[in-house]
Structure 1
Amino acid sequence: MSQEQSKLSSKELKELKKKEKAARRQAQKEASGITPEQQQKNLEQKLQETKKTSQTPTNLKKQLNQTLIKNEKKVPHLFGHLETREQRNASSPTISNLVHPSILTLTLKYSNYKIVGSNSRLKNMLLAFKQVIEDYKTPESTTLSRHLTNHLSHQIEYLKTGRPLSVSMGNAIRWLKQEISHISIDINELKAKEILCSKIDDFVKEKIELSDRLIVENASKHISNGSTILTYGHSQVLEELFKYCVLEQDKTFNLIIVDSRPLFEGKKLFRNLVDSDVTNSIRIQYALLNSLNSTLLEDVDVVFLGAHAMLSNGRLYSRVGTALIAMMSHTRNIPVLTCCESIKFSDKVQLDSVTTNELADSEDLINNFNIPPQKKSFALEQFIKQEKGEESINDSPLANWKDLPNLNILNILYDLTPPEYIKKVVTELGSLPPSSVPVILREYKNT
């Protein structure tokens, strides 16, 4: 080491060594005959290769997680692990370039709740996948059975930004990927796409449409003339059940539709029943969940509930408020029946609705446009004017809720119902107790 180098600091020594190393590399490249232009080209090729490898499903998922914006809205610490709508919507631009237009449209409908319900979401997802497969072209130096699975994974990752996947959607995705892996590499691409599209059509017909038909026939045995039925929200299979009992079995009964904020799905059921001209045989009563009392439950003979999923420990995972109705019915010895297709069965075990749930926007509970404007009484207006002044009469008491540090508004979409509150689970395989869910799962996997 020279005397000049000994006087340098450690930082300056490191920089000097870096420059010497770079000079030696440059000299070696010039000696081998590589020009600076060729070096630049090699560098650009390396960047393109790293960009391609970064577009695998796992790396895209990491990019999504890195681009998630911080949640500015207040969420209680107990539910802090759940993603908010803003976090889900913060998708990476690299993914949106790879996404099919039908998936972009479907994701927007999911996030705006234009399509709700497990069956509707599953059916629309499979139809969108069908369009993706029809427009798909296998790149060179690869096969359809290998590349199409990765291509679908990009679509699924973007689909999750609208809303988390339901259990039935997850089961259908696993089935579709398995069918793609069974496609032989010797089959023509056009023929392979036709096979996959026909299998998707068969899956929708068998697992949704025919299953619902069998469930309706099994569940109709529990509805008798003159009985009073209570249901909660909207379920496609329950809507078909009530229509089937009237139009094909000529039954007359009373129906109590219980509904809740913020989606008011019970209004959809009420509207669809009125449009189908079954109100001559069904006497419908509409009530909100917070106004449900013992007088409404006095004459109820049976309760029918829809399902988002049935877990392997026999618990029902459904829209929030379902557990409350099941518990109230159980205390009054009213039988509770759940209509659920086998595609909604999950091998997961869950003991509460905190660990896994879906967190919706808190503003949906406050600024709900489905509620008609309500006329205040004269006495109430005078009281508000006296207490807060005339300018704040029309202000919502929760208009500035974010400015209150100790106020959190939670909008979760699902809850968990214990199996002891459910008498039977009506499936396409028959009416079974909740404890038989693992048996159906085992048979479903075997087939």
Structure 2
Amino acid sequence: MRELEIEQHEKKKKPAFGINNAHPDVHPAILTLGVQMNQFILVGSSARCLGFMLAMKRLINDYECPAGATISRHLPGHYFSRQIDYLISARPMSTALGNSIRWLKTEIAAISPELSEEAAKKLLCEKIDVFIRERITAASEAIVNTTAGRYINDGDTILTFSKSSVVEKSLLEAHSRGTNFKVLVVDSSHLFEGKNLLTTLVRAGIDVEYIKAALVDHYMGSVTRALLGAHSLQANGSLHSRAGCSKIARSASQKGIPVIVCCESIKFSEKFTSDGIIGNEFGDTDIIAPDNNCDNGGMFGGWRNQPTTSLSSFMFDTTPARYIKAVISEHGTLGPTNCPNVLRANSSSTPLR
């Protein structure tokens, strides 16, 4: 049953990506963003969310409302949808990007038809600036201050997986405050983002050790805390993050090492999955079955010649809430299952002005 589920998921059709396949209405800034996402130049969900908001500011500034229409009716309709369809063809939509799109469409629809076109465009751009400042920049700063001040102490050995921008900033901030600690960077085989984190920490003068995920159990004895980033935090408290994160969290938790997740509330999701398959993203199968290994008769030798055989290399996995000690967001330190409470608080709060 599971093999069938994976096969059906892998064969699910997605729009073909490419600038030549984009609708003529797609704005140049969105075209550029899509290429950056597709080529993994913009990788993290926070970076993609910020890139989208900045691209939408350019789109709004260049936008001209058709005669007889209003911005609140025309902009969030087919014109807006064509921008999103193009981005989805570049890469599956992340939770942060989806939440940002819903917020922006709501704000556009709320624009008074009494406003002039220029005034409406100016107001929308101002709201986007506030959104970036409050939900991305200030949220990250709050998490960094909490993490560096309370969860990175003298003598600690901090384990982190792959690369998270907010975890990276937390480590750099703790070091700048004079905290003496060591970092163990465990890397994923998909994009080797941990190498970028390693380079940054070494340049800052932080004591760092770099290992592959397969060796993590041998190094757990010296670890005092695990700091992990998030692709999204689901409604049941489970963590959706880079493939391999679940193994890291489980191993740490079973050895009594607290697992702390740093996650902005823009990544909180109202949905959850029972496994890591639904809503996942496929990576390069050469990671698990390199051509040189297959050609030499390795474990997967000859699989490409088998018509009934296919391999799936998932980019993300799901970590159950029971392996997570706490989640640090801009709202403070929470239990992983408190995600729905934050979502309700955000939805009932006054819209950004």
How does the TM-score come out when normalised to structure 2? 0.91
> How far is 1:292 from its partner?
2.1
Q: What are the superposed Cα offsets for residues 415-445 of structure 1, whole Å, 9 maximum, x if unpaired? A: 1111110000011111111121111111011
CA RMSD of aligned residues (A): 2.5
Q: For 2:130, which of 202, 218, 236 is the aligned residue?
A: 202
Q: For 2:157, which of 219, 228, 236 is the aligned residue?
A: 228
Gaps of 5+ in 2: none
CA distance 1:336–1:397, change in 2 (3 Å): closer
> Do the aligned residues in 2 keep the contact of 1:82 with 1:359 (CA within 8 Å)?
no
Counterpart-to-counterpart distance in 1, 2:271 and 2:85: 21
Aligned to 1:149: 76
Aligned to 1:289: 213
CA distance 1:238–1:85, change in 2 (3 Å): farther
Q: What are the superposed Cα offsets for residues 319-342 of structure 1, whole Å, 9 maximum, x if unpaired? A: 111110111011100000000011
Counterpart-to-counterpart distance in 1, 2:335 and 2:238: 11
How does the TM-score come out when normalised to structure 1? 0.72
Aligned to 1:99: 26
Counterpart-to-counterpart distance in 1, 2:139 and 2:16: 34
Structure whose CA Rg is larger: 1
Q: For 1:339, which of 262, 270, 292 is the aligned residue?
A: 262
Counterpart-to-counterpart distance in 1, 2:48 and 2:111: 26
Counterpart-to-counterpart distance in 2, 1:243 and 1:262: 25
> How far is 1:363 from its partner?
4.2
**SS of residue in 2 equivalent to 1:285:** strand
Moved more, 94-103 or 180-189: 94-103
Q: What are the superposed Cα offsets for residues 261-316 of structure 1, whole Å, 9 maximum, x if unpaired? A: 120010111122234xx22xx2100000122233x000100000000111111111
Aligned to 1:353: 276
Counterpart-to-counterpart distance in 1, 2:48 and 2:11: 20
Aligned to 1:174: 102
CA distance 1:76–1:102, change in 2 (3 Å): farther
Q: State the one-letter code of the partner of 1:434.
A: P
Q: What are the superposed Cα offsets for residues 95-132 of structure 1, whole Å, 9 maximum, x if unpaired? A: 52121111111111111111101111110111111111
Counterpart-to-counterpart distance in 2, 1:287 and 1:301: 17
Aligned counterparts, 1:235-254, within 5 A: 235-247=164-176, 249-254=177-182
> Do the aligned residues in 1 keep the contact of 2:201 with 2:208 (CA within 8 Å)?
no
Q: State the one-letter code of the partner of 1:283.
A: D
> Do the aligned residues in 2 keep the contact of 1:88 with 1:163 (CA within 8 Å)?
no
Q: What are the superposed Cα offsets for residues 185-208 of structure 1, whole Å, 9 maximum, x if unpaired? A: 111111111111111111111111
Between the two proteins, the alignment pairs up a number of residues equal to 345
> Do the aligned residues in 2 keep the contact of 1:82 with 1:357 (CA within 8 Å)?
no
> Do the aligned residues in 1 keep the contact of 2:188 with 2:242 (CA within 8 Å)?
no
Aligned counterparts, 1:358-373, within 5 A: 358-363=281-286
Name the % identity: 36
> How far is 1:349 from its partner?
2.5
Counterpart-to-counterpart distance in 2, 1:432 and 1:110: 31
Aligned to 1:427: 329
Q: What are the superposed Cα offsets for residues 211-255 of structure 1, whole Å, 9 maximum, x if unpaired? A: 1111111112111111100000000000100110011x1111110
Counterpart-to-counterpart distance in 2, 1:76 and 1:87: 20
CA distance 1:337–1:180, change in 2 (3 Å): same
CA distance 1:325–1:444, change in 2 (3 Å): same
